[in-house]
Amino acid sequence: MVKKVNQSWGGRFSEATDAFVQTFSESVSYDQRLCFHDIRGSIAHATMLGAVGVLTETETKSIVDGLAQIKVEIENGQFEWSIELEDVHMNIEARLTDLIGEPGKKLHTGRSRNDQVATDIRLYLRDEIDLLIAAVERLQRGLLDLAEAEAETIMPGFTHMQVAQPISLGHHVLAWFEMFVRDKSRLQDCRKRLNVMPLGSAALAGTSYPIDRAMTAKLLEFDAPCNNSLDGVSDRDFAIEFSAAAALLSTHLSRIAEELVLWTSAQFNFVTLPDRFCTGSSIMPQKKNPDVAELVRGKSGRINGNLVTLLTLMKGQPLAYNRDNQEDKEPLFDTIDTIFASVTAFADMLPAIQPNRDEMAAAARQGFSTATDLADYLVRKDIPFRDAHEIVGSAVQYASGKGCDLADLALQDLQQFSELIDDDVYDILTLAGSINSRDHLGGTAPAQVKFQVAEQRASLG
């Protein structure tokens, strides 16, 4: 009887896979992106099998050469992926056997797709994390340049979305920068925990061959082999941790996006975005929309969604490997692509924003943003802070009634509220006086902004 069944596991089957089941269960359409890491893992595995004597030297060489050739075929777009072969692993193994014959069938000795795929994803994600960290650093360098250029630019700082106190735009940009310092360290941290090797766990219980796991771990630049084979094949914590780190990174980008959308509106008019980062409207000829910022804000939704997908995927799984795990790839890959695109978009766009300095300063002059400075001034003249707060509150009420700022009141007007107010009060009621006076670590004084830029530049290296 001729039966057409899967060549990797068809031995005990008497009929071919249902056509729908084949499409339903294949993963090669998306896991082929693991191909180079799969090949790297297989080369290390075969090399180790050769070293411990499970494979002969000739067999090992033929496998390693065959895999190297497959890599070239894929790079040149000559490799034919087939969904009948289910996934990236079986596609590559089948091609190896086509190419080199018998030794190809020995590659899978002492290994299962369960430990193979768990290893592949870690290898792949490790490289992606390195690329993402580099992209975050590029974004950070751009922010430092922007912060330095805008150290003296004054804008209103907000709390409750109400004008609070004048701040340096450079200081605001450095607040964005700090978010990415934490994101970067979360990615580095995730990479450390990810860098443990499942290979050798085989299907779930390990293998009866005399494998040398320390050797494969070293060849693949893992810090160590995992300690437990059941955990090795079933753990996807690293994917969840990465997705969580990406979700937070994307949340930060989304917050910045929200500020840019506000700031570019006609009502704020704090910054202008270069045309190349905007698009128009098909009906309203006057429109120039901050679409890149809006898309980055929108994309954080799907990155958060992917995190929840992975958590939900894992929560009901008993040990050890279950096919559910195949569903880890699409959300993970989507998060990688989306976060990378979002970081890249902002790394390109943020350094190119053009601040409208006059508008920002004018906005900072509204809303009595130097009221706290007046209170501090009175405190320096020995008035308790609570009393000073009360005095300035009355002065604000008075100026508000007159429709002017505190700095526009005549000295006699101000002196009605306290005799201790003198001519020098106008120094601190100005915007520049206000920001210059906040001259301590973490404060908004331009001198502090420049100091931070220098410090952070040095630590970025």
Which residues are annotated as catalytic? 160, 281
Beta bridge partners of residue 166, listed in sequence order:
156
Single out the residue of 332, 338, 329, 331 nearest to residue 26, CA to CA. Answer: 329
Residue with smaller CB distance to ligand ARG, 32 or 272: 32
Binding to ligand ARG by residue 114, rule CB under 6 A? yes
For residue 241, the one-letter residue type is: E
- Among 323, 403, 410, 412, indicate the residue that binds ligand ARG (CB under 6 A): 323
Residue with smaller CB distance to ligand ARG, 62 or 325: 325
Residue with smaller CB distance to ligand ARG, 201 or 325: 325
Least distance from ligand ARG to the Cβ atom of residue 54, Å: 22
Binding to ligand ARG by residue 108, rule CB under 6 A? no
- Of residues 346 through 385, those in contact with ligand ARG by CB under 6 A are none
CA distance 197 to 433: 58
Binding to ligand ARG by residue 115, rule CB under 6 A? no
Residue with smaller CB distance to ligand ARG, 326 or 335: 326
Single out the residue of 18, 3, 20, 375 nearest to residue 165, CA to CA. Answer: 375
Binding to ligand ARG by residue 113, rule CB under 6 A? yes
Binding to ligand ARG by residue 325, rule CB under 6 A? yes
Residue with smaller CB distance to ligand ARG, 32 or 344: 32
For residue 265, the one-letter residue type is: S
Residue with smaller CB distance to ligand ARG, 315 or 323: 323
| Residue 425 structure tokens | 């009060």
What element of type H or E holds 225?
strand 224-225
CA distance 330 to 237: 16
Choose one: 42-50, 113-121, 162-170, 423-431; the region binding ligand ARG (CB under 6 A).
113-121
What Å distances lie between residue 289 and 58, 252, 261, 298, 431, CA to CA?
Answer: 63, 21, 9, 15, 31
- Of residues 116 through 135, those in contact with ligand ARG by CB under 6 A are 117
Choose one: 111-119, 253-261, 345-353, 368-376; the region binding ligand ARG (CB under 6 A).
111-119
Residue with smaller CB distance to ligand ARG, 248 or 320: 320
Binding to ligand ARG by residue 17, rule CB under 6 A? no
Least distance from ligand ARG to the Cβ atom of residue 84, Å: 14
Binding to ligand ARG by residue 326, rule CB under 6 A? yes
Choose one: 112-120, 331-339, 380-388, 436-444; the region binding ligand ARG (CB under 6 A).
112-120
Backbone region of residue 368 per phi and psi (left: phi > 0; alpha: psi in -120 to 50; beta: other values): left
Cβ-contact 289, 257 below 8 angstroms: no
SS3 per-residue string spanning 136-194: HHHHHHHHHHHHHHCCCCEEEEEECCEEEEEEEHHHHHHHHHHHHHHHHHHHHHHHHHH
Binding to ligand ARG by residue 87, rule CB under 6 A? yes
Binding to ligand ARG by residue 12, rule CB under 6 A? no
CA distance 341 to 338: 5
CA distance 26 to 343: 31
Choose one: 39-47, 64-72, 102-110, 317-325; the region binding ligand ARG (CB under 6 A).
317-325
CA distance 394 to 392: 5
Least distance from ligand ARG to the Cβ atom of residue 135, Å: 27
Least distance from ligand ARG to the Cβ atom of residue 227, Å: 21
Cβ-contact 61, 43 below 8 angstroms: no
Q: Which residues bind ligand ARG (CB under 6 A)?
A: 27, 31, 87, 113-114, 117, 321, 323, 325-326
